[in-house]
């Protein structure tokens, strides 16, 4: 179960995995305040991508990815890759 070393690679792989099969993929976020770390996992029960961090600067990135995937899930998308920039 690989832990990615860079956020960029993880974020790209996670979004790609989600787009291959939105219904199968789940995103898991585990936060431990006592240990001061945060783990993200994106899996479709076959592939599993993980990223963990203890840096405050990653919280914003993780939260943005989380929000992005949530928005993808609740929008009726007819085709992938349509990003509207506001």
Binding site for another protein (CB under 8 A): 22-23, 25-34, 36-38, 53-60, 63-64, 66-67, 69-71, 73-77
Tell me whether residue 2 or residue 67 sits nearer to another protein (CB atom): 67
Which pair of tokens denotes residue 70? Answer: 């949530």
Tell me whether residue 4 or residue 22 sits nearer to another protein (CB atom): 22
Other C-beta atoms closer than 10 Å to the C-beta of 9 total 12
- Which of 67, 19, 22 minimizes the C-alpha distance to 40? 67
CA 17 – CA 4 distance, rounded (Å): 14
Q: How far is the CB of 68 from another protein (least distance, A)?
A: 10
Q: How far is the CB of 84 from another protein (least distance, A)?
A: 14
């Amino acid at each position: 179960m690989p832990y990615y070393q860079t956020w960029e690679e993880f974020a790209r792989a996670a979004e790609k995995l989600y787009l291959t099969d939105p219904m199968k993929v789940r995103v898991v976020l585990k936060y431990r305040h006592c240990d001061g770390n945060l783990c993200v996992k994106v899996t479709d029960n076959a592939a599993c991508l993980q990223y963990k961090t203890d840096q405050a600067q990653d919280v914003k990135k993780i939260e943005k990815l989380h929000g992005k995937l949530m928005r993808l899930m609740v929008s009726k998308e007819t085709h992938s890759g349509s990003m509207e920039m506001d």
